[in-house]
Amino acid sequence: MKLNYLLLDVFTQEPLKGNQLAVVTKADGLLDGEMQDIAREFNLSETVFLLKPQAERNSAAVRIFTPYTELPFAGHPTVGAAVVLGLQNKVSAVRLEEKIGLITALFEKSDKRSGEARFALPRLPSRIADLNDRLGMAQALGIEVEDIGCDLYQPAVFSAGVTFHLVPVRNAEVLRRIKINPGLWSKVFSHDHSSAYVFTLTPDEPENDLAARMFGMDIGEDPGTGSAAAALIGLLAEHATLANGQADYVLRQGHEMGRPCRITVQLRKDKDVLIHGGIGGHAVIVGEGVLDLGD
């Protein structure tokens, strides 16, 4: 059995930056366990499998696996899959059947191996819980208690399909010097995958509005996490200084890892209620190959 695959760098226009992604382009016939084994073989934060869609008008069915589990939704795999299908099919709109639901991504080609995709969240973020153990969070992150909190933002648990502990910190310098304490981690960040998205405002950085780092999902640190940025939209919306209209943000992630990512974030409110959230970014194909799995 031979399977074609592409390697992409996502949330970047520059090869060898951003968040890595493997896309298996014709995965029909693979069993769930085989997809999981292939994702473990690639050992990237996520691997995408493209299959024939259930509805003919859609572009593809999409399965998303970390090395350890399947996810119902993830941001950089959605952007990467949309860029691959946009380039292959020469279309400006890509309809993806994911576990969480149907996602329509708008695609704009940059060149023959790269482009930008933007999509509306299939599920708006919701607040799951407050986070009140500030001492525990500080110890788990290797920072001071007074470093937690940024402007009006306070720690909370949100999900837009995947659950994240959102932890605002005082500034980018605090973000940079985080040092994880694994012994405390799962006790302090106890929801679902024990994943924490630590973020801050960046008023001194003209290129972006926010900076973040993501720890967890059984992969350590992740360079660029669209599903976490999607969860963050819920917290941003609570404090956005508009009751009606749209707010746009640029978020950087992965700089501390040497894999800088640029994620665009959008929210829209009507009568002070969040009615739309969006994520976007570029992706570039950096390699291709064939998996040879024998007979």
Residues taking part in catalysis: 46
How would you class 34 by CB atoms within 10 Å of its CB: exposed for 0-12, middle for 13-18, buried for 19 or more? middle
**Neighbouring residues of 193: CB distance < 8 A, sequence distance ≥ 6:** 162, 163, 216, 217, 218
- For residue 248, CA distances in Å to 111, 245, 262, 284 come to 25, 10, 13, 23
Block residue for tokens 């970014």: 281
How would you class 226 by CB atoms within 10 Å of its CB: exposed for 0-12, middle for 13-18, buried for 19 or more? buried
- The single-letter DSSP state of residue 219 is S
- For residue 102, CA distances in Å to 27, 72, 153, 165, 173 come to 19, 11, 31, 25, 39
**Neighbouring residues of 68: CB distance < 8 A, sequence distance ≥ 6:** 40, 218
Q: How many Å apart are CA 239 and CA 149, to the nearest integer?
A: 13
Distance from chain centroid for Cα 246: 21
